[in-house]
A and B are shown apart, each in its own frame.
Chain A
Amino acid sequence: DVKVTQSSRYLVKRTGEKVFLECVQDMDHENMFWYRQDPGLGLRLIYFSYDVKMKEKGDIPEGYSVSREKKERFSLILESASTNQTSMYLCASSRDSPYEQYFGPGTRLTVT
């Protein structure tokens, strides 16, 4: 059965802290994605990766970085958390064609 896990369901951090969100998939998928989801704005792509050590910017990469050292793991890093990064963060993975993405349960991050 397909499985994507995220390190935390809920996280509360202070402004200026460095925050790590981890995502692990057990499906040997090549592609991994990080989104944030905000009311009224839908899903917005932050970063994606098509291979180990490879990363590409999505639509809103500012304030974020990523790391993919192993195929199954894709980490999202908030270098210096700010209150406007309070959001629901969703990780997804997919194989090539038909590219269907499988999502983790999400991490609700609150930055105070």
Chain B
Amino acid sequence: GEDVEQSLFLSVREGDSSVINCTYTDSSSTYLYWYKQEPGAGLQLLTYIFSNMDMKQDQRLTVLLNKKDKHLSLRIADTQTGDSAIYFCAESIGDGGSQGNLIFGKGTKLSVKP
């Protein structure tokens, strides 16, 4: 079945770039998403990318998609302590009546050290 894999932890220094990686299995996924979750809160949508795109940039965030390798990454430039959170990668289910359903990875906990 569909699966989304992420590494569990990432630690960076304030001011550095962070790169969070994700691999997915459903080659028919139409959209891929990045969410951020701060402690005790719900998930906040950061950005999403259509599967026919290679890259999307939004201020400090850059999403890269390698469809051949089914690899998605989120780069955060000039990482700040406020970026410390759990980041979730998700893919849309590509076919059938459940197209509105998303498959989420287990999340990458980003720690930013001052």
Q: Which of B14-22, B40-48, B61-69, B72-80 contacts A (4 or more CB under 8 A)?
A: B40-48
B: interface residue count bin: 20 to 34
Also in contact, A42 and B99, with CB within 8 A (given A98-B30, A102-B45): no
User: Is B114 part of the binding interface, using a Cβ–Cβ cutoff of 8 Å?
Assistant: no
> Which B residue sits closest to A4, measured CB to CB?
B42
Q: B residues within 8 A CB of A56?
A: 98
> Which B residue sits closest to A30, measured CB to CB?
B100
Q: In the bound complex, do residue A100 and residue B105 qualify as a contact, i.e. CB atoms below 8 Å apart?
A: no
Query: Residue-by-residue, is A41-63 near B (CB-CB < 8 Å gives 1, otherwise 0)?
Result: 11101001010000010100000
Residues of A within 8 A of B (CB): 4, 30-31, 33, 40-43, 45, 48, 50, 56, 58, 90, 92, 94, 96-106, 108
Given contacts A98-B92, A99-B31, 5 further A-B contacts (CB under 8 A): A43-B104, A48-B101, A92-B43, A94-B100, A108-B40
